[in-house]
Amino acid sequence: MTAPAAAGRKSILVASRHAHPGSSLPRSALDTALAAAAFDQPVTLLFLGEGVLQLLPGQDSGAAGVRNLRKVLDSLPLYEIETVYADAAAAAAFGLPRDALPPQIEWLDAAGMQALLDRHDHVLGF
Amino acid sequence: MPLTYALLVLAAPASGHASLTAARFARALLARGHSLQRVFFLDDGTLTGLASAVAPQDEQAPLQQWVSLAEAQQTELVLCISSALKRGLLDSAEASRHERPAATVHPAFELGGLGLLVESAQTADRLVTFG
Protein backbone atom coordinates (compact mmCIF):
# COMPACT_ATOMS: atom_id res chain seq x y z
CA MET A 1 0.00 0.00 0.00
CA THR A 2 1.25 3.43 -0.83
CA ALA A 3 1.36 6.76 1.00
CA PRO A 4 1.95 5.59 4.54
CA ALA A 5 1.21 8.44 6.91
CA ALA A 6 4.77 8.28 8.21
CA ALA A 7 5.86 10.10 11.34
CA GLY A 8 2.79 12.28 11.65
CA ARG A 9 2.91 13.43 8.05
CA LYS A 10 -0.44 13.86 6.43
CA SER A 11 -1.01 11.93 3.23
CA ILE A 12 -2.33 13.61 0.11
CA LEU A 13 -4.39 11.96 -2.61
CA VAL A 14 -4.38 13.87 -5.91
CA ALA A 15 -7.42 12.77 -7.93
CA SER A 16 -7.28 13.66 -11.63
CA ARG A 17 -10.55 13.35 -13.50
CA HIS A 18 -10.14 15.41 -16.69
CA ALA A 19 -8.65 14.40 -20.03
CA HIS A 20 -5.53 16.08 -21.35
CA PRO A 21 -4.94 18.28 -23.41
CA GLY A 22 -8.48 19.68 -23.39
CA SER A 23 -8.04 20.99 -19.85
CA SER A 24 -5.18 22.54 -17.89
CA LEU A 25 -6.22 20.69 -14.72
CA PRO A 26 -4.32 17.43 -15.49
CA ARG A 27 -1.07 19.38 -15.65
CA SER A 28 -1.88 21.20 -12.42
CA ALA A 29 -2.68 17.87 -10.74
CA LEU A 30 0.67 16.42 -11.78
CA ASP A 31 2.53 19.59 -10.75
CA THR A 32 0.90 19.36 -7.33
CA ALA A 33 1.83 15.68 -6.92
CA LEU A 34 5.42 16.37 -8.00
CA ALA A 35 5.68 19.34 -5.62
CA ALA A 36 4.47 17.18 -2.73
CA ALA A 37 6.97 14.46 -3.65
CA ALA A 38 9.76 17.05 -3.94
CA PHE A 39 9.02 18.08 -0.35
CA ASP A 40 9.05 14.43 0.74
CA GLN A 41 5.36 14.39 1.55
CA PRO A 42 3.40 11.17 1.09
CA VAL A 43 1.38 11.60 -2.09
CA THR A 44 -0.72 9.26 -4.20
CA LEU A 45 -2.14 9.79 -7.69
CA LEU A 46 -5.54 8.51 -8.77
CA PHE A 47 -6.87 8.78 -12.32
CA LEU A 48 -10.60 8.42 -12.60
CA GLY A 49 -13.36 9.04 -15.12
CA GLU A 50 -12.02 10.82 -18.22
CA GLY A 51 -8.73 11.25 -16.36
CA VAL A 52 -7.75 7.67 -17.34
CA LEU A 53 -7.29 8.92 -20.91
CA GLN A 54 -4.10 10.63 -19.71
CA LEU A 55 -2.60 7.15 -19.44
CA LEU A 56 -2.92 6.37 -23.16
CA PRO A 57 0.31 5.40 -24.91
CA GLY A 58 1.61 7.05 -28.06
CA GLN A 59 0.38 10.51 -27.17
CA ASP A 60 1.86 13.20 -29.41
CA SER A 61 0.62 16.55 -28.25
CA GLY A 62 3.44 18.45 -29.97
CA ALA A 63 1.32 19.40 -32.96
CA ALA A 64 -1.29 20.76 -30.55
CA GLY A 65 1.45 22.87 -28.99
CA VAL A 66 1.16 21.49 -25.46
CA ARG A 67 3.42 19.33 -23.34
CA ASN A 68 3.15 15.54 -23.50
CA LEU A 69 1.90 14.54 -20.07
CA ARG A 70 2.49 10.83 -20.55
CA LYS A 71 6.23 11.58 -20.45
CA VAL A 72 5.74 13.24 -17.08
CA LEU A 73 3.78 10.19 -15.91
CA ASP A 74 6.58 7.89 -17.01
CA SER A 75 9.01 9.95 -14.91
CA LEU A 76 7.01 9.61 -11.69
CA PRO A 77 9.19 6.77 -10.29
CA LEU A 78 12.11 9.24 -10.35
CA TYR A 79 10.15 11.26 -7.82
CA GLU A 80 9.48 8.12 -5.81
CA ILE A 81 5.83 8.05 -6.80
CA GLU A 82 5.98 4.35 -7.53
CA THR A 83 2.36 3.32 -7.69
CA VAL A 84 -0.38 5.13 -9.55
CA TYR A 85 -4.01 4.15 -9.10
CA ALA A 86 -6.62 4.19 -11.83
CA ASP A 87 -10.32 3.61 -12.25
CA ALA A 88 -10.76 0.16 -13.84
CA ALA A 89 -14.39 0.75 -14.87
CA ALA A 90 -13.49 3.98 -16.70
CA ALA A 91 -10.59 2.27 -18.48
CA ALA A 92 -12.98 -0.46 -19.63
CA ALA A 93 -15.60 2.08 -20.73
CA PHE A 94 -13.02 3.94 -22.85
CA GLY A 95 -11.58 0.67 -24.17
CA LEU A 96 -8.02 1.40 -23.00
CA PRO A 97 -5.54 -1.32 -23.94
CA ARG A 98 -4.17 -2.26 -20.52
CA ASP A 99 -1.01 -3.87 -21.88
CA ALA A 100 0.11 -0.52 -23.35
CA LEU A 101 -0.47 1.47 -20.19
CA PRO A 102 2.22 2.38 -17.65
CA PRO A 103 3.20 -0.74 -15.71
CA GLN A 104 3.05 0.86 -12.28
CA ILE A 105 -0.72 1.27 -12.39
CA GLU A 106 -2.88 -0.46 -9.85
CA TRP A 107 -6.46 -0.83 -11.08
CA LEU A 108 -9.26 -0.20 -8.64
CA ASP A 109 -12.98 -0.87 -8.65
CA ALA A 110 -15.44 1.46 -6.91
CA ALA A 111 -14.89 -0.16 -3.51
CA GLY A 112 -11.13 0.05 -3.98
CA MET A 113 -11.34 3.77 -4.79
CA GLN A 114 -13.54 4.34 -1.77
CA ALA A 115 -10.95 2.64 0.43
CA LEU A 116 -8.16 4.67 -1.18
CA LEU A 117 -9.96 7.96 -0.49
CA ASP A 118 -10.69 6.83 3.02
CA ARG A 119 -7.08 6.18 3.96
CA HIS A 120 -5.74 9.59 2.93
CA ASP A 121 -5.79 12.67 5.15
CA HIS A 122 -6.45 15.10 2.28
CA VAL A 123 -8.10 14.54 -1.09
CA LEU A 124 -7.41 17.17 -3.74
CA GLY A 125 -9.79 16.85 -6.69
CA PHE A 126 -8.58 18.16 -10.06
CA MET B 1 -13.18 21.52 18.42
CA PRO B 2 -11.84 24.47 16.38
CA LEU B 3 -10.00 23.32 13.26
CA THR B 4 -7.43 24.94 11.00
CA TYR B 5 -8.60 25.09 7.41
CA ALA B 6 -6.88 25.77 4.11
CA LEU B 7 -8.69 26.07 0.78
CA LEU B 8 -7.59 25.17 -2.74
CA VAL B 9 -9.47 27.11 -5.42
CA LEU B 10 -9.15 25.79 -8.99
CA ALA B 11 -12.20 27.45 -10.51
CA ALA B 12 -12.04 30.69 -12.49
CA PRO B 13 -14.02 33.50 -10.81
CA ALA B 14 -16.27 34.08 -13.81
CA SER B 15 -17.00 30.40 -14.56
CA GLY B 16 -19.88 29.13 -12.48
CA HIS B 17 -20.33 29.55 -8.77
CA ALA B 18 -17.35 27.68 -7.31
CA SER B 19 -15.30 30.77 -6.46
CA LEU B 20 -18.22 32.47 -4.68
CA THR B 21 -19.07 29.20 -2.93
CA ALA B 22 -15.48 28.95 -1.71
CA ALA B 23 -15.63 32.52 -0.33
CA ARG B 24 -18.93 31.77 1.44
CA PHE B 25 -17.45 28.58 2.85
CA ALA B 26 -14.50 30.62 4.16
CA ARG B 27 -16.85 33.06 5.91
CA ALA B 28 -18.96 30.25 7.34
CA LEU B 29 -16.02 28.39 8.85
CA LEU B 30 -14.67 31.60 10.41
CA ALA B 31 -18.12 32.39 11.79
CA ARG B 32 -18.09 28.99 13.52
CA GLY B 33 -14.83 29.72 15.28
CA HIS B 34 -12.48 27.76 13.02
CA SER B 35 -9.40 29.39 11.56
CA LEU B 36 -8.47 29.82 7.91
CA GLN B 37 -4.76 29.58 7.39
CA ARG B 38 -4.48 30.18 3.68
CA VAL B 39 -6.38 30.15 0.41
CA PHE B 40 -4.27 28.79 -2.44
CA PHE B 41 -5.43 29.62 -5.97
CA LEU B 42 -4.17 27.28 -8.69
CA ASP B 43 -4.76 26.81 -12.43
CA ASP B 44 -7.70 28.97 -13.64
CA GLY B 45 -8.34 29.82 -9.98
CA THR B 46 -5.47 32.31 -10.18
CA LEU B 47 -7.65 34.57 -12.34
CA THR B 48 -9.40 35.44 -9.07
CA GLY B 49 -6.56 37.83 -8.30
CA LEU B 50 -6.97 39.93 -11.44
CA ALA B 51 -7.25 43.49 -10.13
CA SER B 52 -9.02 44.84 -13.20
CA ALA B 53 -12.00 42.45 -13.21
CA VAL B 54 -15.33 44.32 -13.39
CA ALA B 55 -18.43 42.37 -12.35
CA PRO B 56 -21.86 43.41 -13.65
CA GLN B 57 -23.63 45.61 -11.10
CA ASP B 58 -26.33 43.04 -10.37
CA GLU B 59 -23.88 40.20 -9.72
CA GLN B 60 -21.62 39.43 -6.78
CA ALA B 61 -17.98 40.14 -7.55
CA PRO B 62 -15.73 37.23 -6.47
CA LEU B 63 -12.73 39.59 -6.30
CA GLN B 64 -14.44 41.78 -3.70
CA GLN B 65 -15.50 38.77 -1.63
CA TRP B 66 -11.90 37.59 -1.38
CA VAL B 67 -10.44 41.04 -0.83
CA SER B 68 -12.80 41.72 2.06
CA LEU B 69 -11.89 38.35 3.62
CA ALA B 70 -8.22 39.25 3.38
CA GLU B 71 -8.82 42.69 4.88
CA ALA B 72 -11.20 41.71 7.68
CA GLN B 73 -9.71 38.35 8.65
CA GLN B 74 -6.07 38.65 7.57
CA THR B 75 -6.58 35.58 5.40
CA GLU B 76 -3.53 34.81 3.30
CA LEU B 77 -4.45 34.69 -0.40
CA VAL B 78 -1.79 33.02 -2.55
CA LEU B 79 -1.79 32.72 -6.34
CA CYS B 80 0.31 29.85 -7.74
CA ILE B 81 3.09 31.75 -9.46
CA SER B 82 3.46 29.51 -12.52
CA SER B 83 -0.32 29.38 -13.15
CA ALA B 84 -0.52 33.14 -12.58
CA LEU B 85 2.30 34.20 -14.90
CA LYS B 86 0.85 32.14 -17.77
CA ARG B 87 -2.43 33.98 -17.36
CA GLY B 88 -0.90 37.44 -17.23
CA LEU B 89 -1.26 37.89 -13.48
CA LEU B 90 1.84 39.78 -12.40
CA ASP B 91 2.77 41.71 -9.31
CA SER B 92 5.04 44.71 -9.76
CA ALA B 93 8.21 42.64 -9.31
CA GLU B 94 7.16 40.11 -11.97
CA ALA B 95 5.91 42.86 -14.31
CA SER B 96 9.30 44.52 -14.21
CA ARG B 97 11.20 41.19 -14.45
CA HIS B 98 9.25 40.16 -17.54
CA GLU B 99 9.11 43.69 -18.99
CA ARG B 100 5.36 43.95 -18.97
CA PRO B 101 3.71 47.39 -18.81
CA ALA B 102 1.81 47.03 -15.54
CA ALA B 103 1.13 44.89 -12.49
CA THR B 104 -2.22 43.13 -12.78
CA VAL B 105 -2.58 41.36 -9.42
CA HIS B 106 -4.71 42.92 -6.70
CA PRO B 107 -2.53 43.83 -3.69
CA ALA B 108 -4.59 41.60 -1.36
CA PHE B 109 -3.05 38.59 -3.17
CA GLU B 110 0.52 37.40 -3.27
CA LEU B 111 2.33 35.11 -5.69
CA GLY B 112 3.87 31.92 -4.30
CA GLY B 113 5.00 28.44 -5.22
CA LEU B 114 3.22 25.09 -4.93
CA GLY B 115 5.34 24.45 -1.85
CA LEU B 116 2.88 26.65 0.05
CA LEU B 117 0.03 24.32 -0.93
CA VAL B 118 2.11 21.33 0.16
CA GLU B 119 2.84 23.10 3.44
CA SER B 120 -0.87 23.72 3.98
CA ALA B 121 -1.55 20.01 3.48
CA GLN B 122 0.78 19.31 6.39
CA THR B 123 -0.29 22.08 8.73
CA ALA B 124 -4.04 22.37 8.15
CA ASP B 125 -6.56 19.96 9.65
CA ARG B 126 -8.76 20.30 6.58
CA LEU B 127 -7.78 21.17 3.01
CA VAL B 128 -10.86 21.65 0.85
CA THR B 129 -10.83 21.90 -2.96
CA PHE B 130 -13.21 24.15 -4.92
CA GLY B 131 -13.03 23.57 -8.65
pLDDT tens for each residue of B6-46? 999 999 999 889 999 999 999 999 999 999 999 999 999 99
At the top level of CATH, which class does the domain A9-125 belong to? alpha beta
**What was the ipTM of the complex prediction?**
0.92
User: How far apart, in Å, are the Cα atoms of A5 and each of A32, A113, B7, B31?
Assistant: 18, 18, 21, 31
Sign (positive or negative) of CA dihedral B113, B115, B120, B121: positive
User: Which residues 6+ apart lie within 8 Å of A15 measured at CB?
Assistant: A29, A46, A48, A51, A117, A123, A124, A125, A126
Alpha-carbon gap: A9 to the closest alpha carbon of chain B (Å): 6
Helices (H), A5-121: 25-38, 69-74, 88-93, 110-118
CA distance linking residue B7 with residue B23, whole number of Å: 10
The whole-angstrom separation of Cα B107 and Cα B97 is: 18
Q: A34-60: b or e for each residue (b if 16 or more CB lie within 10 Å)? A: bbbbeeebbbbbbbbbbbbbbbbeebe
Domains in chain A: boundaries: 9-125
A-chain residue closest to B126, CA distance: A122
Contact B121 A123 (CB under 8 A): no
Does residue A58 contact residue A25 with C-beta atoms inside 8 Å?
no
- pTM score of the predicted model: 0.93
Instruction: Using alpha carbons, list the distances in angstroms from residue A106 to B5, B34, B112.
Output: 31, 38, 34
Interface touch A32/B114, C-beta < 8 Å = yes
Q: What is the pLDDT of residue A22?
A: 83
- Going along chain B from its start, the domains and CATH numbers come out as 4-130 (3.40.1260.10)
User: pLDDT value at position A1?
Assistant: 43
